[in-house]
Amino acid sequence: MDRTLLKKGLRPTKQRSCVYETLLERKDHPTADEILLRVRKKLPTISLATVYNCLETLADCALIRQVNFDRSPSRFCANLSPHAHFICSRTGEIHDLNLSNKDILKLKSILPNGFQVDDFDLTFNGTT
């Protein structure tokens, strides 16, 4: 991670490292508020603004991903491999559905000619 930041002329501060490591610890999808709570166990004085700053920086460096479900608070995760999300309407659980190359080709096959895709978001709602 330090490498990636330094390459962009950004400092791997303890706040940034801690936010990043906190996201690695668990494979869930915490909000900025939840991340603040977790990070404060290690850095009790970190501010919410800094958490937002760190998350933005890490996302800009493609070290983490920001995920939005409708207009609810943004969530963040360190799973960088291409995946879709499944939200269970009973439990509220968010599942990562990792996508094979085949899956990705299927997705792209939906596009008419001449559409160049940089990125996509795919979210399912339902029950498990």
Partner DNA sequence: AATCAAATTAGAATAATTCCAATTACAACT
Partner DNA sequence: AGTTGTAATTGGAATTATTCTAATTTGATT
Give phi and psi for 12, each to the nearest 5: -80, 75
CA atoms within 13 A on the CB side of 67: 25
Whose Cβ is closer to DNA: residue 61's or residue 84's?
A: 61
Q: How far apart are CA 1 and CA 5, in angstroms?
A: 6
Q: Taking CB under 8 A as the rule, which mask of x and - marks residues 85-114 in contact with a copy of itself?
A: -x--x-----x-x-x---x--xx-xxxx-x
Give phi and psi for 66, each to the nearest 5: -95, 135
Binding residues (CB under 8 A) for a copy of itself: these are 66, 68, 70-71, 74, 84, 86, 89, 95, 97, 99, 103, 106-107, 109-112, 114-128
Binding residues (CB under 7 A) for DNA: these are 9-11, 13-16, 31-33, 43, 45-50, 52-54, 56-57, 71, 73-74
